[in-house]
Amino acid sequence: MTAKLNVGLGAAVILIWLYIADVDIVSAALVLSFLILIPLLLHIAVPKRPNMKAEFILRWLSQRSFLAGIFGLASVTFEPMILSIVLASIWFLFMLIVAGCGAWRIYRRGLYPAEETIIDVGLLFTGVGGIWLILWQAGIDQILPYDELTMSLTTVHYHYSAVVIPVLTGAFGRLLVSLRGDTGTAYRFLAIGAAIGSPLIALGVIQGPPLELVYVTIYAGLLYWLSIWWMMLLPKMTLRTKACLLLACTSLLVSMGVTFLYAFGVTFQVDIISYNMMFIWHGAVNAIGFSLFGVLGWYLLGSLPKRKRLGSEVVNPKEAGHHEEL
């Protein structure tokens, strides 16, 4: 099965599921991740010429994730707790293998180059997402001082921005290497921010103001920086890729602006953005506008070569500096 067929089957199942099931927005977001986003992200994470066993495993998983995704879908569809936990555990095992591939790449390569490490950070966070799915289905909110909605949104967070942003930031780094032979110091700071940003946001949601505003401000600034940098490279891309990434960048700028206004209002007790409005704009716009179209854009760009380590040296791919239209 190819990655395209794998995702195509997932999209068909989602349409049928939306028609026959009683679906809430959190479950819909998670199923979109199970059957479309995660498979595409695994495909993007694999470089053009893989040379590690973990990368071949990731490519195999990206082409055969459909069945695991069905178990994930079932876990958020059926209500009996024990059944939901069992089904969620199967999805977790799949995510655990993905996370293990990320850990293995880091172990074999080290922490440099930055664009490869940030991809691996995203792969590691898939394991966290799988754990949170089990905890949410097990009713962890009943023994923690947080409500069920907070637990469900944390599960969504670790299936979306915690994975999407690091992997796409890494793909962007590979593109920079292909265009100019290096990522540069600015990119390395951006990669560090992408790695720590999602955990900070999750921590901010749990802790609340005023730390939530501080974390959101830092993360929003990093994502604005990333979006503007992407848009600067749009002229070098094909029309389909350009359209997807432009929509993704615009969505991210809007949603993070709304999130900042919400956090600012909560911190200073000013009624700027309501919780329901923030939930719609940050959740729906990020899930569809940024995550879906951002992942599609980088998927359409095609597999990019990676820099490889030979001893203590990092060797650039042969294609460095030779891409004119991507």
Residues 275-286: tens digit of each pLDDT: 777 777 777 788
Backbone conformation region of residue 269, classed left if phi is above 0, alpha if psi is from -120 to 50, else beta: left
pLDDT at 146 (0 to 100): 74
Cβ atoms 122, 164 nearer than 8 A: yes
pLDDT at 325 (0 to 100): 42
pLDDT confidence bin for 321, thresholds 50/70/90 = very low
Q: How far is CA 213 from CA 65, 142, 254, 266, 290, in A?
A: 37, 27, 17, 9, 22
From the list 325, 322, 326, the residue with the least C-alpha distance to 178 is 322
pLDDT in tens, 127-171: 999 999 999 999 888 887 777 877 888 899 899 989 999 999 999
Q: Determine the average pLDDT of the residues in 45-51.
A: 92
Task: Name the least confident of 11-15, 293-297, 322-326.
Answer: 322-326
No. of helices (H) and no. of strands (E), the chain:
14, 2
pLDDT at 266 (0 to 100): 86
| Cα–Cα distance measured from residue 252 to residue 258, given in angstroms and rounded to the nearest whole number | 10
